Structure 1
Amino acid sequence: MAQRTTTNLSPASHRSGRRRSALIIYIFGALGGLNWGYDTGVISAALIYLRQDFNLTSWAEGWVTTGLIIGAVIGAAVGGRLADKYGRWKVLLVTAVLLTLSPPGMAWAPEEFSLFIFRFIAGLGAGLTAVILPVYLSEIAPARIRGRVTGLYALSIVIGQFLGFLIGMVFAPLESWRWMLGFSVFPSILFTVGLLFIWETPRWLVLKGRDDEAMDVLLYDRTQEEAEREYTEIRLTHEAEQASGSRTALEVLREPWVRPILIVGIGIAMLCQFMGINTIIYYAPTVLQNVGFDDQAAIASNLIIGVLNILAIWIALVYTDRWGRKPLMLAGAAGTFLSLGVLALTNLTQPVPDGFGIVGIITLSCIALYVFLFQMSWGGMTWVILGELFPLGIRGPAMALATTLLWFANGVVALSFPPLLEAVGVGWLFAGFSVVCFIALIFTISALPETKGKSLEQIKATFRNTAGMPVIPTPKRMR
């Protein structure tokens, strides 16, 4: 085992460190997803005027929306490997540069191809963030509050979406999609500033042999005993991985005990997109226009969705470490299945658009209920689960694989939604999403483990034990 000098802190300095750690984690978690949330939220309002200015077809509309997602797929694919090699903080700094450069380009774009390119650049940054930030937060937080801390990333995304909805409504009377898209430079700047107040994670520091620094970071938000115990778990896990040989990450990913982890991670990542949430985030005004709402009313409805987004994620943060991840996921899958089923049935049996009539009101109500139930569960918990599910030695590539497939599913939904809406209508389209929500319910019951209150090393040991492989015992206390 690598030698490490034990760090002793006085009670006063330890309490100060805890306050500092909690404050910085909160600020960073609140800023990390703002830009992604803003870009995904504001596009729903911007599309109404982009469609007019650039004379977009339904497929071109899908491609403009999907530019962000294609970039995110690539960012997610390379983000894990880069984060393992260079560190979480350094790669996040690169994302800040990408996210700051892209908004002026989107605002300037003279035609749809240029807009696609700059949304693609923004997507690269968003994809890197989506891979690294949940891992960062899960690695730096103690197990007792890890769900709430990691969930801050989901909260920052929905706050960003609400800001996007709000700015979309503010600039709607001017029909200025350029201001709507360019305004995202401000959350990008906030993200960059936030990076100046954080540090590297203890698990990455141990991976690179910087044990004293790792222990110092652990002591920011843990008691001496907690820090010693967690350091020992990380150290023993890392040494066991080194002793197993110099295998590549892909070779480790093929091991029998790793496969169930990958199935759960990939299943959660892809299902959360195929359940249809981003059709609401990207296209809610378009859907409401199809049931008779005018432009202003359709855009204003986004504020309802934005408020419910934030409220639901807040509930998830408060209760995830009390109730657990799995109960929330079960409730969300069942509730979204029912709400989208009612929406689909209404539009199939009462297909005449009527704005604020029965079809319009039920459609808006079901969308609002669906958003609340989804964000309270899958929206908040997906990033928590992905951030804590994968073992240290494969966390980068495994998280990259799951997040890449998440963004791929997001892209498929975003690209296909406008032409499918045009071809089959609201009713049949949301009936399909309702079926996916039912599949998600079955998957949660049969495959998802509970990770509440467990250290990241204990979660790994659970999967190894299930596969009949030897596990590293959790130490009681470092001697």
Structure 2
Amino acid sequence: MKKSKIYTIYIYFFGALGGLLFGYDTGVISGALLFITKEFNLTPTLEGLVVSSVMFGAILGSIISGPVSDRIGRKKLIFILGLIFTLSTIGSSWPPNISVMIISRLILGIAVGGASGMVPMYLAELSPANNRGAITAINSIMNTSGMLLAYIINYSLSHTGNWHLMLGFALIPSVLLSLGMIFMPESPKWLAQKKNITKAKNVLRLTHKDERAVEHEIFVMESLAKKEEKGEFLDIFKSWCRPIIFIGFMIAILQQLVGTNAILYYAPTILSQSGLGDSAAITSTVGIGTVNVIMTIVGVLLVDKIGRKKMLLTGSVGMGISLSIIGVAEFFPGNIGLIMILAMCLFMVSFSSTWGMITWVVLAEIFPLKIRGSAMGICTLGLWTTNAFISLLFPVFVEKLGTGTIFIIFAIVCGFSFYFVKTKLPETKGKTLEEIELDMRFGKSKIS
């Protein structure tokens, strides 16, 4: 029993490290960009490349991580991702020129994209059934905690302008992740698929409370392996699949199109241009990051009580109002920094508790088992691609159209997201995955 508790804590800790790295590496650039831009005299296009290179790498990482993990195992892949995190962090933190930085961040993105899906899946496959939902939620919380840590590091170093250390701090958790994975067990599900039932049982004994729970888990794995219907990629184009794929794909890209990454990645730049100094702009992101973490926790606590659909609709309204305030404020002269900070906090309250986490819940629920892997791959690809292009083009569009116009456009997208969820997305609260699959497959899902 003691051994089980020790290993459970150990597993959660290193799972959290993977989520922490994902959040830190995507959030730290927001503050570092101010000083990188000055040192290298970046154009808006190069600014966008520095930020978005991670996202373009993540597209590749999200595509290849699944097949690679099926071949070599979850544990080995996460260990390799830790090594990629470490080497690419060195390259992006102390580059001889901007080209090396962009290439290093592109490689870093491969690790980010791989970790975004692989770490929670690995933890879920290790954990008892009654704890899997909570573990997935912990990973989401750690993602936002990683972003908050990035904002705090940025703030603590803002008076020095040392962007090298801002980016380089990620070396600590990345090295720990690789070292920790050496002593982690392999996924029991992967071992069972490879017919290593004895090893799978031994791994389950590390995290399960009693032998009956272990035997039950093994029985379920073997039963699913025998009964699971083999799906093919072309199945996603069948008439009954297309509407489900469309809903999932739209939810995935709308999460990015509502403007969240413009705030997460460019908040200090926007606030600095609104009348705040560089240090004050970076300081304000600590508050925004804190709100992000707290409201993610609130969303985790409410999603099974209120329901996915109602929370997404509420989030769309809150985000639309906050983005409209930011957009309108930009058209008025004067120091509008305080208004921008409050509006960004309102946005994070609305986004983090709804679209930020519920998108992943919905995508995990609505797809039938037969096409789940392929469907998730398509939606994840759409999400990261949208993320990358917004990150790349935001500085360019701001230069051409102005910050106010861009945020008004984001607000209009929020209005569309409200309409789409209201008319297209069925509520899945309280239903088993099998019930959801039958409803979606045979057209019985209720839009309510």
TM-score (norm 2): 0.88
Per the alignment, residue 459 of structure 1 pairs with 433
**Aligned CA distance change for structure 1 residues 460 and 231 (closer, same or farther; 3 Å):** farther
Per the alignment, residue 155 of structure 2 pairs with 169
Kindly indicate whether the alpha-carbon contact (under 8 Å) linking 2:80 and 2:178 is maintained by their aligned counterparts in 1.
no
Q: For residues 81 and 393 of structure 1, what CA distance do their matches in structure 2 show? A: 16
Tell me whether 1:421 sits opposite 2:367 in the alignment: no
Per the alignment, residue 100 of structure 1 pairs with 86
Q: For residues 384 and 465 of structure 1, what CA distance do their matches in structure 2 show? A: 17
Per the alignment, residue 253 of structure 1 pairs with 236
**Aligned CA distance change for structure 1 residues 451 and 139 (closer, same or farther; 3 Å):** farther
Q: For residues 385 and 197 of structure 1, what CA distance do their matches in structure 2 show? A: 33
Kindly indicate whether the alpha-carbon contact (under 8 Å) linking 1:135 and 1:387 is maintained by their aligned counterparts in 2.
no
Q: For residues 139 and 299 of structure 2, what CA distance do their matches in structure 1 show? A: 12
- Aligned-pair distance for 1:233? 4.9
- Aligned-pair distance for 1:288? 0.9
Per the alignment, residue 331 of structure 1 pairs with 314
- Aligned-pair distance for 1:184? 1.3
Kindly indicate whether the alpha-carbon contact (under 8 Å) linking 1:313 and 1:375 is maintained by their aligned counterparts in 2.
yes
**Aligned CA distance change for structure 1 residues 275 and 221 (closer, same or farther; 3 Å):** farther
- Aligned-pair distance for 1:400? 2.9
Q: For residues 151 and 380 of structure 1, what CA distance do their matches in structure 2 show? A: 8
Kindly indicate whether the alpha-carbon contact (under 8 Å) linking 1:147 and 1:452 is maintained by their aligned counterparts in 2.
no
Report Cα offsets for 1:428-468 as digits up to 9, x if no partner.
111111122222223333444555566xxx41553245323
Amino acid at match of 2:379: A
Identity level (%): 35
Tell me whether 1:313 sits opposite 2:296 in the alignment: yes
Superposed, 1:277-288 pairs within 5 Å as: 277-288=260-271
Decide which of 434, 438, 445 is 2:415's aligned counterpart. Answer: 438
**Aligned CA distance change for structure 1 residues 393 and 185 (closer, same or farther; 3 Å):** farther
SS at match of 2:136: helix
SS at match of 2:135: helix
Decide which of 226, 232, 238 is 2:225's aligned counterpart. Answer: 238
Decide which of 343, 351, 357 is 1:380's aligned counterpart. Answer: 357
SS at match of 1:209: coil
Decide which of 100, 105, 110 is 1:119's aligned counterpart. Answer: 105
Q: Which moved more, 1:420-429 or 1:441-450?
A: 441-450
Tell me whether 1:263 sits opposite 2:246 in the alignment: yes
TM-score (norm 1): 0.83
- Aligned-pair distance for 1:139? 3.9
Q: For residues 422 and 204 of structure 2, what CA distance do their matches in structure 1 show? A: 35
- Aligned-pair distance for 1:390? 4.8
Q: Which runs of 5+ in 2 are unaligned?
A: 444-448
Superposed, 1:128-139 pairs within 5 Å as: 128-139=114-125
Kindly indicate whether the alpha-carbon contact (under 8 Å) linking 1:103 and 1:181 is maintained by their aligned counterparts in 2.
yes
Q: For residues 413 and 169 of structure 1, what CA distance do their matches in structure 2 show? A: 25
Per the alignment, residue 22 of structure 2 pairs with 36
Q: Which moved more, 1:281-290 or 1:191-200?
A: 191-200
Kindly indicate whether the alpha-carbon contact (under 8 Å) linking 1:150 and 1:387 is maintained by their aligned counterparts in 2.
no
Q: For residues 198 and 243 of structure 2, what CA distance do their matches in structure 1 show? A: 34
Q: For residues 144 and 299 of structure 2, what CA distance do their matches in structure 1 show? A: 13
Q: For residues 69 and 286 of structure 1, what CA distance do their matches in structure 2 show? A: 19
- Aligned-pair distance for 1:98? 0.3
Which structure would you say has the larger RCO, counting Cα contacts within 8 Å and 6 or more residues apart?
A: 1
Kindly indicate whether the alpha-carbon contact (under 8 Å) linking 1:89 and 1:200 is maintained by their aligned counterparts in 2.
yes
Q: For residues 193 and 391 of structure 1, what CA distance do their matches in structure 2 show? A: 37
- Aligned-pair distance for 1:313? 1.6
Kindly indicate whether the alpha-carbon contact (under 8 Å) linking 1:31 and 1:194 is maintained by their aligned counterparts in 2.
no
Kindly indicate whether the alpha-carbon contact (under 8 Å) linking 1:54 and 1:112 is maintained by their aligned counterparts in 2.
yes
Per the alignment, residue 160 of structure 1 pairs with 146
Superposed, 1:346-385 pairs within 5 Å as: 346-348=329-331, 351-354=332-335, 359-385=336-362
Q: For residues 377 and 345 of structure 1, what CA distance do their matches in structure 2 show? A: 24
SS at match of 1:83: helix
Decide which of 48, 55, 60 is 2:34's aligned counterpart. Answer: 48
Report Cα offsets for 1:194-218 as digits up to 9, x if no partner.
4245434444344333445545555
Per the alignment, residue 279 of structure 2 pairs with 296
**Aligned CA distance change for structure 1 residues 377 and 80 (closer, same or farther; 3 Å):** same
Amino acid at match of 1:64: V
Kindly indicate whether the alpha-carbon contact (under 8 Å) linking 1:150 and 1:383 is maintained by their aligned counterparts in 2.
no
Report Cα offsets for 1:332-356 as digits up to 9, x if no partner.
22221222123223334xx2131xx
Q: For residues 202 and 310 of structure 2, what CA distance do their matches in structure 1 show? A: 35
- Aligned-pair distance for 1:109? 0.7
SS at match of 2:358: helix
**Aligned CA distance change for structure 1 residues 294 and 345 (closer, same or farther; 3 Å):** same
Q: For residues 321 and 122 of structure 1, what CA distance do their matches in structure 2 show? A: 35
- Aligned-pair distance for 1:32? 1.3
Q: For residues 50 and 194 of structure 1, what CA distance do their matches in structure 2 show? A: 32
